[in-house]
Chain A
Amino acid sequence: MRHSVATAALLIGVAGANAAMAQTEINVLRVAVNDEQEAYYEEIAQAYEEQNDGVTVTFEYIANEAYKSKLPTLLQSDARPDIFYSWGGQTLVEQANAGFLQGISDMLPEEMTGTIPEAGLNAYTVDGNLYGLPLYATEVVFWTNTALTEEAGVDIDQIETWEDFLGAVQTLKDASVTPIIAGGQDKWPLHFYWSYLALREGGPDVVSDAMAGENGGFESEAFVEAGKEFQKLTDMEPFQSGFMGTTYETASGMFADGEGAFHLMGDWDYLPMRERSTSGEGLPDEQLAIFSFPVLADPVSEGGEGATLGGINGWAVSQSAEPEAVDFLAFMLSEENQRKAAEQELFIPIVEGTGDALSNPFYQQVSEDITNSSYHQIFLDQFLGASVGATVNDISADLAQDAITPEEAAAQVQEAWDFR
């Protein structure tokens, strides 16, 4: 007994000594990524550790859904990370309002904020305080299998308006080609349609106005019309059969297998869809094309035609993070590291002037789209927070199945917003 007590004391002593010469630890929590990206972060962490004695950087990864449900608990515990992955939007606002985040404007190197586009900074700003930094931007586009569109006689360069698009869908149907692949079971792939249409109908301010309760909030004409336009499409039964039982992953594999002509999805799907295809190869680049979501000939209000929908994903800094963590964040987002990501085609970097390092034509086009965008709307299911966002996904799926009317859809979103 005495022996074990002595051992325990010794162990505690050793641990104590370790703690005394402890280094500054920076813990970064991220949604799980593929191996290439993990290697990229590992390299950044090592480079930073070499430059800064006594600092260790640890990256930890949690799968997507688990991350979202675990984060609130984690942030309230002592095990909270210093820097964590964020989608911006209402979730960030809620975290900031609950006091879990740290304002970092004053702690960043002066020239830092100048390198990031304003839309990117806005996504991480709550009430004038900057709580994090964006890492990359994504855009939702129509991925197209040109072999199928050409076969059916559809010229995607001619698709300007929503009516053009509906016409193309009809042509494809007449040629017995499945016009659109959609991962309806996950619902969020369908919410892209409703969001984009609302953006085109109501202009860039449509969402922020609705959040402020103007023009009847989410029950305003723009959102109702968006539902109607969406149902014009779904009435044509444009999706593969059983689309409500198809997950995003399956849908992306099906598109890469050549099962349908269009897939409304983010630029991030470029590599994953290949991995998910039956052959593992997917469609060759020359058989792939992307085009922006069509515009409306007669929108409710003007200004929505140049807007883009996508994500501005990045990092938030938690309230207990040491100044070193902010320093590391700035390092991680340095031009050099962003350029590396672009060269390795891991993502489309957000720091200005690094997009030219992209060699992939699709990424180049998306990068250009985002730069030229009049307004980059963050995905509504992220932007409006977990609860309202999920409601938007629900109503999008219900609209696609004709289970509710556009008016009911708008009312349900407003109801969720009132009670968030």
Chain B
Amino acid sequence: MATSVASRRLSASERLRRSLNNGRVTAALILLPPALILFTLFVMLPLGESVYYAFFNWNGYGTPTDYVGMENFQRIAGHSVFQKAVTNTLKIVAISLFLQMPLALLLALLIYRKTPTNALFRLIFFVPYILAEVAAGLIWSFVFDGNYGVTASIAQSMGVESFFILADRDWAFVAVMTVIVWKYFGFHMMIYIAALQSVPEDLIEAARIEGAKRHQIVRYVQIPQIKHALVVSAFFAIIGALQVFDIIIPLTNGGPSNQTHTIVTYLYTFGLTRLNIGFGSAVGVILFIAAITVAVFYQRFFMNRSET
């Protein structure tokens, strides 16, 4: 602050000379271009291109010529599979916020103290997160397989007819959400553990001396103290839900008959594999706007408030 006030009184050339001397501008001149070029080339340019393609009916061959205006967007809005994909994505957001995060918090509260047993449990709970998404999807597709998988063995040992949850239009997405919770709760748990460990012991001690019960300590001391971690993890959960893709492809590939798509698998299936590049670009634009909106609003309404 002080420097900017001081520099206001100096002439422009003097200001430039000074800033060159203190190395800031030089550093910016040297360090900025590579990042800026990469960002422009691989983020901004494709983004602009996909906005452009979104207004064409284009199969990816040659250059787009068939301008269709808003028709791609109209088709997306009217497509029952897209509506299903949006509902599914919202379901993932809901399950992440109201099941995964409480579960992660509960486990974090149980094992946040540094003991060897806790370290072991932390590792166990964190393993699913380390696994590659595709591998996790494949593993669970074997688990759910009613012919040869774990489900088949369980059904057989219980003497009941095997069930095929991934083939069931109503239940397949429940299976997908189970896998998602299993895969990511460890990540949120780790965030909470880190936060809980930084809650001052004496605060908890003081509360206890005042006669607070365990659940009261959690409710009135620990959770308020780790609020920033909760806010950040909820942000990851929402943005993550918008991006779910690589678990679903090996698990159900969007099926049975397009009941388990998310917005991204919808984009991939209906835009890329069917070579409707214009249509797919339009889905991409919608997804981008959704993500940006969520990010901006969340930052404004939750993140700032939690800091003050």
Are A and B part of the same complex? yes
Residues of chain A within 8 A (CB-CB) of B163 are 242
Contact A401 B61 (CB under 8 A): no
Of B36-44, B106-114, B125-133, B272-280, the one with at least 4 CB within 8 A of chain A:
B272-280
Contact A244 B255 (CB under 8 A): yes
Is A245 engaged at the interface, CB distance under 8 Å to the other chain? yes
CB distance from B273 to the nearest CB of A (A): 6
Known: A68-B273, A250-B147, A390-B274. Is A245-B256 also a contact (CB below 8 A)?
Answer: yes
- Complex CA gap A244/B166 in Å reads 8
Contact B274 A386 (CB under 8 A): yes
Known: A98-B61, A242-B147. Is A387-B169 also a contact (CB below 8 A)?
Answer: no
Contact B169 A246 (CB under 8 A): no
Nearest A residue to B275 via CB reads A386
Contact A397 B257 (CB under 8 A): yes
CB distance from B32 to the nearest CB of A (A): 28
Is B100 engaged at the interface, CB distance under 8 Å to the other chain? no
Contact B61 A94 (CB under 8 A): yes
How many positions in chain B have a CB within 8 Å of any CB in the partner chain?
32
- Complex CA gap A387/B273 in Å reads 8
- Complex CA gap A71/B258 in Å reads 25
Known: A242-B162, A244-B257, A397-B257. Is A69-B273 also a contact (CB below 8 A)?
Answer: yes
Is A35 engaged at the interface, CB distance under 8 Å to the other chain? no
Q: Given B59, B164, B169, which contacts A401 in the complex, CB threshold below 8 Å?
A: B169
CB distance from B214 to the nearest CB of A (A): 45
Residues of chain B within 8 A (CB-CB) of A99 are 62
Known: A94-B61, A98-B62, A185-B255. Is A245-B167 also a contact (CB below 8 A)?
Answer: yes
Is A403 engaged at the interface, CB distance under 8 Å to the other chain? yes
Contact A403 B257 (CB under 8 A): yes
Contact A244 B62 (CB under 8 A): no
Contact A387 B253 (CB under 8 A): no
Residues of chain B within 8 A (CB-CB) of A58 are none
CB distance from A129 to the nearest CB of B (A): 17
Residues of chain B within 8 A (CB-CB) of A65 are 273
Residues of chain A within 8 A (CB-CB) of B162 are 241-242
Q: Given A98, A250, A387, A394, which contacts B258 in the complex, CB threshold below 8 Å?
A: A394
How many positions in chain A have a CB within 8 Å of any CB in the partner chain?
35
CB distance from B143 to the nearest CB of A (A): 12
Q: Is the interface of B mostly helix, strand, loop or mixed?
A: loop
Contact B255 A187 (CB under 8 A): yes
Is B145 engaged at the interface, CB distance under 8 Å to the other chain? yes
Is A72 engaged at the interface, CB distance under 8 Å to the other chain? yes
- Complex CA gap A396/B293 in Å reads 38
Q: Which of A364-394 contact B (CB under 8 A)?
A: 385-387, 390, 394
Question: Which of A68, A73, A386 has the most B CB atoms < 10 Å from its CB?
Answer: A386
Question: Which of B60, B165, B166, B252 has the most A CB atoms < 10 Å from its CB?
Answer: B60
- Complex CA gap A69/B269 in Å reads 11
Residues of chain A within 8 A (CB-CB) of B257 are 187, 244, 394, 397-398, 401, 403
- Per-position contact with B for A234-263: 1 when CB-CB < 8 Å, else 0? 000000011111100010001000000000
Contact B61 A72 (CB under 8 A): yes
Residues of chain B within 8 A (CB-CB) of A243 are 167
CB distance from A70 to the nearest CB of B (A): 11
Nearest B residue to A251 via CB reads B147
Q: Which of A77-125 contact B (CB under 8 A)?
A: 94-95, 97-100
Is B213 engaged at the interface, CB distance under 8 Å to the other chain? no
Contact A387 B275 (CB under 8 A): yes
Is A158 engaged at the interface, CB distance under 8 Å to the other chain? no
Known: A185-B255, A419-B75. Is A246-B273 also a contact (CB below 8 A)?
Answer: no
Is A75 engaged at the interface, CB distance under 8 Å to the other chain? yes
Contact A386 B255 (CB under 8 A): no
CB distance from B279 to the nearest CB of A (A): 8
Known: A245-B145, A398-B257. Is A390-B273 also a contact (CB below 8 A)?
Answer: yes
Is B137 engaged at the interface, CB distance under 8 Å to the other chain? no
Is B161 engaged at the interface, CB distance under 8 Å to the other chain? yes
Is B146 engaged at the interface, CB distance under 8 Å to the other chain? yes
- Complex CA gap A398/B168 in Å reads 12
Residues of chain A within 8 A (CB-CB) of B269 are 390
Nearest B residue to A185 via CB reads B255
- Complex CA gap A390/B269 in Å reads 9
Residues of chain B within 8 A (CB-CB) of A176 are none
Nearest B residue to A388 via CB reads B274
Is B57 engaged at the interface, CB distance under 8 Å to the other chain? yes
Nearest A residue to B149 via CB reads A245
Contact A76 B61 (CB under 8 A): yes
CB distance from B128 to the nearest CB of A (A): 22
Question: Which of A65, A100, A420 has the most B CB atoms < 10 Å from its CB?
Answer: A420
Closest 6 pairs between A and B when the two form their complex, measured CB to CB: A242-B164, A245-B167, A98-B61, A244-B256, A244-B167, A387-B274
Inter-chain pairs besides A244-B256, A246-B147, A387-B274, 17 sampled, C-beta below 8 Å: A72-B275, A187-B257, A242-B146, A242-B163, A242-B167, A244-B168, A244-B169, A245-B144, A245-B146, A245-B164, A245-B167, A245-B252, A387-B59, A387-B275, A387-B276, A390-B273, A390-B274
A-B contact pairs, 24 of them (CB 8 A): A68-B273, A72-B59, A72-B60, A72-B61, A72-B275, A94-B59, A97-B61, A98-B62, A99-B62, A184-B167, A184-B256, A185-B167, A187-B255, A187-B257, A244-B256, A244-B257, A246-B147, A385-B275, A387-B276, A394-B257, A394-B258, A397-B257, A403-B169, A419-B71
Binding site for A on B (CB under 8 A): 57, 59-62, 71, 75, 144-147, 161-169, 252-253, 255-258, 269, 272-276
